[in-house]
Amino acid sequence: MISEQIREDLELVKKTLRAAEVYEHAWHIVNFDRETICPPGAVEEKGELAAFLEGKVFEIRKSADFTAAFHRLYDALESGADFPEGPDRDMVKLWHLQITREEKITPQMAEEYARLSGRAFADWLRAKEEAKYPLFADSLEKMIKESSRMAALRGPEGADPYDIMLDEHERGMSCADLDEIFGVCTERLVPLLRKVTASKKKIRTDFLSRPVPLHAQQEMSYYLLGLIGFDLSHGALSTAEHPFTDGISRRDVRLTTHYYPDCFSSNMFSVMHEGGHALFEQNQPRESHDYFLTLGKTGGQHESVSRFYENVIGRSKAFTDLIYPKTKELFGEAMADVSAREFYEGMNVAGPTLIRTEADELTYTLHVIIRYEIEKQMIAGRIGTAQIPEVWNSLYEKYLGIRPANDREGVLQDVHWTDGFGYFPSYALGNIYNAMYYNRMKQDLDTDALIRSGNLAPIGSWMTAHVYAKADVLAPREWIRDITGRELTPEDFLNYLEEKYGELYEL
């Protein structure tokens, strides 16, 4: 029999989280506006409004009654008292972790951090536009200091601040784990890249830079979203300087892209990538929203889906064959003399490039490892903000053999450091996760046949049942074990790349 106290505490907790959710909803709308159609002169103002809303969320979650109720619920759960089975247990476990992390963070601290992040975003936009890192350096230094201070408050005493940041993005992951995983990746990716660049096989790419009108690219965006199953009655597509997706609420999921007149493939991969994020948001279990579990999924789990649709599906021979007629129809002269095989090869061309978001499957993980190595040094204080551009450029030369010509195509290309640190490894971990669960999926489905027929619904259903269903309640290592029956390993991903690029480049 569940005690009256437990019933009352559960009711109070849910009521409080619902109240906070209203402000979170408003924050998401303001933030989406800030990164899409907000005029440049109002970006910082919108950042101030977002900071106020974030402060209100913390204020509500810091109420004495809420905190006391949660501690009683967690103690009851841990002591073995009668407790409701199902999502109530997951809610208490998940939110106990969150409340513990926030215990020493005041609403004022949260609001000031959000305000600092908003100013950093405005400075980054200006710096990127002018390709002048010094315009962003002061804000970056403040973000490093404040992020480190906040991490020390959120984590166990004496813990490495960067380990705390990593754990918040990817539960259970530390520098020691990533050093081992990324070490294996570089040992195999760097030699593979050298073989590719030395190959006599030359892939045709001239058509990829041919101009394609904006309206044709927009029509392609909606065609691709329709293929993968994105629900436009509960979603929207917009544009942004740096494409992103926002699960604003259960019924409102928005994604963005960026159109380049002379690079149609950039938009196509952005839409597939952000569309993957959006599908994850649209297909979460209903109880994840009803029991406030949506904060449970990690960056790596999310990126596994976005990069699954962008690369494993979107760059596959089956998929490029499927969409080839549509590209011929929409892109006209740009595709007039391009064969289906040339289209597939061009969409999979590999080699050293400077921009992470435009990188091929083979080099992408190296872009992430570079950022990971820089973040470790930044947070540890081993390099100062003045040194970061040169460290960035040197690591690009080390891993990819190229150096940026300016800060826009170098250290200023990503928006992430305006919001904090520790997220970049999630992209590479996403590659590793999806390679593992794709191998498991192929035991149940003939994926190539489904893709060639244009019927991606069974793939979406498999993802909903196996990938999305428990992402909010299982830490990544447990989650990937639940899906595949195996322990986390980069081997599937590395084998996939070696096989694919071996065939493409006749290695």
The amino acid at residue 488 is L
Q: Six-digit token pair at 423?
A: 């997220």
CA distance 37 to 26: 16
Q: How many other CB atoms sit within 10 Å of the CB of residue 145?
A: 13
354, 141 Cβ separation under 8 angstroms: no
Phi, psi of 245 (to 5 degrees): -125, 145
Active site residue 409: no
The catalytically annotated residue of 35, 111, 168, 274 is 274
Q: How many other CB atoms sit within 10 Å of the CB of residue 414?
A: 17
Q: What is the pLDDT, as a whole number, of residue 242?
A: 85
Q: Which CATH number fits the domain 175-504, given the four candidates 3.40.109.10, 1.10.10.10, 1.10.1370.30, 1.20.140.10?
A: 1.10.1370.30
Residue spans of the domains in the chain: they are: 4-159, 175-504
Q: Six-digit token pair at 356?
A: 């992470």
CA distance 330 to 344: 17
Q: What is the pLDDT, as a whole number, of residue 285?
A: 94
pTM: 0.94
Residue with tokens 């690009």: 396
CA distance 7 to 4: 5
Q: What is the pLDDT, as a whole number, of residue 1?
A: 60
499, 487 Cβ separation under 8 angstroms: no
Burial of 107 (C-beta count, 10 Å sphere; 0-12/13-18/19+) = middle
The tens-digit pLDDT sequence of the chain (507 residues) is 678 899 999 999 999 999 999 999 999 999 999 999 999 999 889 989 998 999 999 899 999 999 999 999 999 999 877 887 889 999 999 999 899 998 899 988 988 999 999 999 999 999 999 999 999 999 999 999 999 999 999 999 889 999 999 999 999 999 999 999 999 999 999 999 999 999 999 999 999 999 999 999 999 999 999 999 999 999 999 999 889 999 999 999 999 999 999 999 999 999 999 999 999 999 999 999 999 999 899 999 999 999 999 999 999 999 999 999 999 999 999 999 999 999 999 999 999 999 998 899 999 999 999 999 999 999 999 999 999 999 999 999 999 999 999 999 999 999 999 999 999 999 999 999 999 999 999 999 999 999 999 999 999 999 999 999 999 999 999 999 999 999 999 999 999 999 999 999 999
